[in-house]
Amino acid sequence: MPPSLTSVPLVGMAVNAALASIKILAGFFGNSYALIADGIESTADIVTSLVVWGGLRVSIAPADDRHPYGYGKAEALAGIVASVALLAAAGMIAVQSIREIRTPHHLPHWSTLIVLVLVVATKMLLARWMGTIGEEAESTSVQADAWHHWADALTSIAAFVGIAVGLVGGPGYEPADDWAALAACAVIVWSGLSLLRMAVRELLDAAPAKAFEEKVRALALGVDGVEALDKCRIRKSGTRYFVELHVEVDGGATVREGHDIGGRVRSALRASPLRIADAFIHVEPAGNA
């Protein structure tokens, strides 16, 4: 795991705290309840980032007698919490948007558009940065947290479009920003469900992409003494992988020689850049499969 990964959610917390204050103040003075609600939602994101940070901290704890495979699954659990929180945020935004559409209210002040531009730019930069780190480390929880920031940017873009339409259209267009926010909820829900599915698959030990298995097999076949490969099972735990591999060696090799070949395969896999925490190698005579 990159040393900076656990600090990524903390950066998100700090940015959310600052933007939440700006949104709430700008919404109060700019007559935009949608902006106030957006600011409140940003404070909820602070809690989500805290959960992600906690999950990452637990996931890097060393293995022990009770958890011989380590605590990597805590990262997937944090990803589930973050995904559910994303869906809940979409639900709250949708409910509030419908309520505002049905309730007569005044148009926001034009200054709220400037605030929204600042918010969108900050959130998009933060989401892109966190998303890149999350993808590189294959961290489900960090990717989910990044999507919280994308969701915040989407709702702010929707609010910007809606407020601009309202200011140009004048009386009668007051709910424009609420309709725009409601449309953005569909994108947020789709993202939340996608991330939730990813986290659940990891908890259920779904096999990684075939390309990853091919890389593992290629490394093992490159070890001197390995004649062929049979079964290969891989599961992800946190940001690392556990591999179970059956290697075929010369049937006339001694037990010690077969053991040494298996040890070299294990060492090669653990030393690779594939983030393999451990490999369990089963040695069998060539042609046995």
Q: How far is it, in rounded angstroms, from Cα 242 to Cα 68?
A: 12
Residues sharing a CB contact under 8 Å with residue 114, sequence separation 6 or more, in sequence order? none
In angstroms, what CA-CA distances link 248 with 87, 216, 255, 266?
Answer: 48, 15, 13, 14
Q: What percent of the chain is modeled with pLDDT above 90?
A: 27
Q: At the fourth CATH level, which superfamily is domain 210-285?
A: Cation efflux protein, cytoplasmic domain (3.30.70.1350)
Q: How far is it, in rounded angstroms, from Cα 132 to Cα 110?
A: 34
| Token pair of 114 as six digits | 């400037």
Q: How far is it, in rounded angstroms, from Cα 47 to Cα 195?
A: 18
pLDDT band at residue 3, thresholds of 50, 70 and 90?
very low
| Angle subtended at Cα 144 by Cα 81 and Cα 204, rounded to the nearest 5 degrees | 60
Q: How far is it, in rounded angstroms, from Cα 133 to Cα 2?
A: 9
Compute the average pLDDT of residues 21-32.
Answer: 81
CATH code of the domain made up of 5-203: 1.20.1510.10
The residues with which 248 forms a beta bridge, in sequence order, are 228, 284
Encode pLDDT of 60-91 as tens digits: 888 888 888 889 888 888 888 888 887 887 88
User: What does the mean pLDDT of the chain come to?
Assistant: 84
Encode pLDDT of 158-196 as tens digits: 778 777 877 787 777 767 777 777 777 777 788 788 878
Where do the structural domains in the chain lie, given as residue ranges?
Answer: 5-203, 210-285
